[in-house]
Amino acid sequence: MKAYKYFDNVDTDVIIPARYLNHSEPAYLASHCMEDIDEAFAETVKSGDFMVAGENFGCGSSREHAPIAIKAAGIEAVIAKSFARIFFRNAINIGLPIIEQTECAEECQTGHELSVDLKAGIIENKTLQKTYQFEPFPDFLLEIVNHNGLIEKLKEKGV
């Protein structure tokens, strides 16, 4: 599916501006996702598409509304050179796959066709006819991701 490419330091204020934080419904948040830097995103994004960016993706506020908006927009995974730490844990906690892969993040452009195999740790850029490997998560995080988030993991284990 298609990639949407952004730059370094994509912050949570542009992922979902605070003026929409008086709501928390995922579909509403998704409808305003990225609008201050990419008006077309929410209109054109399709389920299974990817977001690709540079360093420090998701920097800024702790609003979980940011990964919620991205996930609800249909994004299958975010691929970046690096992630800001609160966004990183929020994405893991809600079951939004995030992948650190510098070379792929560098070479991919908006419109490139991508596919990701999370278990095998492989990204394929079909447009460039190139594959990239990425490190699987450490076991501790993998367990959360495999449960589709922290809440489901804890529900299974019991609080």
Partner 1 sequence: MGMTMTQKILAAHCGAAELKVGNFIEADLDLVLGNDITAPVAIKSYEALKAQKVFDKNKIALVPDHFAPNKDIEAAQQCKTMRLFARENEITNYFEIGEMGIEHALLPEKGLVVAGDVVIGADSHTCTYGALGAFSTGIGSTDMGVGMATGKCWFRVPSAIKINMTGQLNQWVSGKDVILHLIGQIGVDGARYKSLEFTGEGLESLTMDDRFTMANMAIEAGAKNGIFEVDAKTIAYIAQHSKRTPKVYAADADAVYDEEITIDLSALKPTVAFPHLPENTKTFGEFGEIKVDQVVVGSCTNGRFDDLKITAEILKGHKVHQDIRMIIIPATQKIYMDAMKAGFIETFIEAGAVVSTPTCGPCLGGYMGILAEGERAVATTNRNFVGRMGHKTSEVYLASPAVAAMTAIKGYIASPEAE
Sole binder of partner 1 in the list 2, 89, 130, 147 (CB under 8 A): 89
Instruction: Give the span between the Cα atoms of 94 and 112, in whole angstroms.
Output: 26
Residue 143 near residue 153 (C-beta atoms within 8 A): yes
Number of residues that this document lists for the chain: 159
Build a one-symbol-per-residue string for 21-60: x at contacts with partner 1 by CB under 8 A, - elsewhere: xxxx-----------xx-----------------xx--xx
Residue 3 near residue 52 (C-beta atoms within 8 A): yes
Site for partner 1 contains 5 (CB under 8 A): no
Minimum separation from the CB atom of position 79 to partner 1 (A): 17
Instruction: Give the span between the Cα atoms of 148 and 138, in whole angstroms.
Output: 16
> Nearest CA to 83 among 72, 75, 66?
66
Minimum separation from the CB atom of position 34 to partner 1 (A): 11
Residue 27 near residue 72 (C-beta atoms within 8 A): yes
Residue 87 near residue 59 (C-beta atoms within 8 A): yes
Q: Which is nearer to partner 1, 83 or 116 (CB)?
A: 83
Site for partner 1 contains 62 (CB under 8 A): yes
Residues 114-153 that bind partner 1 (CB under 8 A): 138, 140-141, 149-151
Binding site for partner 1 (CB under 8 A): 9, 11, 13-14, 17-19, 21-24, 36-37, 55-56, 59-65, 67-68, 82, 84-86, 89-90, 93-94, 138, 140-141, 149-151, 154-155, 159
